[in-house]
Amino acid sequence: MTAVDARPQTGTGLRLPTGLRFPTGFRWGTATAAYQIEGAATEDGRTPSIWDTFSRTPGKVHNGDTGDIAADHLHRMPDDVKLMRELGVTDYRFSVSWPRIQPTGRGPAVERGLDFYRRLVDELLGAGIRPVVTLYHWDLPQELEDAGGWPERDTAHRFAEYAGLVAGALGDRVTTWTTLNEPWCGAFLGYGNGVHAPGRTSDLAALRAAHHFNLAHGAATRVLRDRLPATTEVSLTLNVHALRPLTDTAADRDAVRRVDAVANRIFLDPVFHGRLPQDLVEDTAAVTDWSFVKDGDLEVASTPIDSLGINYYSPSVVSAGRSASPSPWAGAEEHVAFTPAAGPRTAMDWPVDANGLYEVLTRLRDELPSLPLLVTENGAAYEDYADPEGQVHDPERVAYLDAHLSAVHRAIEDGVDVRGYFLWSLLDNFEWAYGYSKRFGIVHVDFASQRRTVKDSARWYAGVIARGGLERG
């Protein structure tokens, strides 16, 4: 662990005469995911997840990288929490590794696995940081995938059981719980076009998985309600897509409608309205009759929650056309195409457009006016590195974060109830199919030595937190 100076990067003190102030009590956080940072892939009884298997499959992950060691967070956790304390974050959003708790996806918990999260929560609380638990960030136990995975109904029931085990261990100290992270990615990238684990390519499997994610969310929410104090905040995190038509033609607007159905409303409508989007059912009639949706499922899926997490990185420009195969757009592949948006791009080749975040937040204000929102992931990968002096200068990331926090502030001014912002990510990490080739962290990790180096963006963010807002003028 390298010595760091994470003091706020500002020359004008903590209180500025001008700037964009956020509400009192606004939650300033950062976020990670278990498989991306923990390492210790075979310790304390942990067995393979679908990502362990996928990353060992030749050609699936850049450079053959795996999460076996990742950022070695399981062994370096106290130092990583110290970093967060120095940055001044109020909240830390992390995920629990399902196969570390329940190696087969069934049965009693492995106490050694739970012990790590008990220590993490205690460390966070000791540092004055609120722990925010995400129960699922894509690491399904491989044994459950072998039994059919998310396309099978039983997986939803197994998830609810697992939620109860974690709640029993941490519920006395954790007050904010998220059931699922980005179920769209789990369903449509994992089972639709196969670029994520488990790497299956089936429109039917993707649609079935999406429904069972909704069912799992609702069932787990009921378990959490039953086992946790009434004051506990229960949430779901969705990557609500910001969609724009290429032109104002009827064909391009219809393409947006089709993508919106399979990207956004396939989760929003069941969870918040207890119904399937009728146009989605019609669009996918050639794939399925939706008979896997059983009586009572939508009632369970729509069990009320306290807040909604939103992950946002970039918008999508959609037009009438045909998607490349295999596609994640089940039922829409023959009708939609995507055009790269203009403007600057990140190392992921994603367009930088903070207006998309504003569009998503105001859409949700209009559709779900009484539901508080949290921006649970937002950030960017760039080609940053430690210079000969050991410094990591990342002005592009600072500009990206500044623009997106400005968009959040504008949304709040326009009546959106946004209560927090969680920067993705604390650490450089295993970036899924990109392996270690993409860096999202505000703390640089030398993966050979595991040395941590605070980037300029981390110091900038510390200043934002200390001021309670963005410097202007």
Residues 415-463: tens digit of each pLDDT = 999 999 999 999 999 999 999 999 999 999 999 999 999 999 999 999 9
Task: Identify the pLDDT of residue 138.
Answer: 98
DSSP tag of 285: T
Name the catalytic one among 123, 333, 377, 396: 377
In tens, the pLDDT along 206-216 reads 999 999 999 99
- Largest interatomic CA distance in the chain: 63
Is the pLDDT at 13 greater than 70, yes or no? no
Element (H, E) at 119: helix 111-126
Summarize the confidence of residues 379-402 as an average pLDDT.
Answer: 97
Asked if residue 9 has pLDDT above 50, the reply is: no
User: Is 152 annotated as catalytic?
Assistant: no
Residue 413 annotated among the catalytic residues of the structure: no
**Alpha-carbon span 461 to 470, nearest angstrom:** 9
Among the listed residues 182, 233, 396, 431, the single catalytic one is 182
| pLDDT for position 342 | 86
Say which range, 170-184, 225-239, 289-303, 330-344, has the weakest mean pLDDT. 330-344
Contact assessment for residue 239 and residue 309, using Cβ atoms and an 8 Å cutoff: no
Task: Specify the DSSP class assigned to residue 351.
Answer: B
> Average pLDDT in the 244-273 region?
98
What amino acid is encoded at 416 in this protein?
A: V
Q: What is the pLDDT of residue 6?
A: 57
Question: pLDDT, tens digit, for every residue of 328-348?
Answer: 999 999 999 999 888 999 999
Helix (H, G, I), strand (E, B) or coil at 252: helix
Contact 19, 97 (CB under 8 A): no
Contact between 337 and 323 (Cβ < 8 Å) = yes
Residue 154 belongs to what H/E stretch? Answer: helix 153-170
Q: Is the pLDDT of residue 73 over 70?
A: yes
Q: What's the one-letter identity of residue 87?
A: L
pTM: 0.96
pLDDT tier for residue 169 given thresholds of 50, 70 and 90: very high
- The length of the chain in residues reads 473
Buried b (16+ CB within 10 A) or exposed e, 298-334: bebbbbebebbbbbbbbbbbbbbeebeeebbbbbbbe
Could you list the beta-strand ranges (E) of 34-153.
Answer: 91-95, 130-136
Pairwise CA distance, residues 154 & 455, whole Å: 44
Helix (H, G, I), strand (E, B) or coil at 308: strand
Q: For residue 2, what pLDDT band results from cuts at 50, 70 and 90?
A: very low
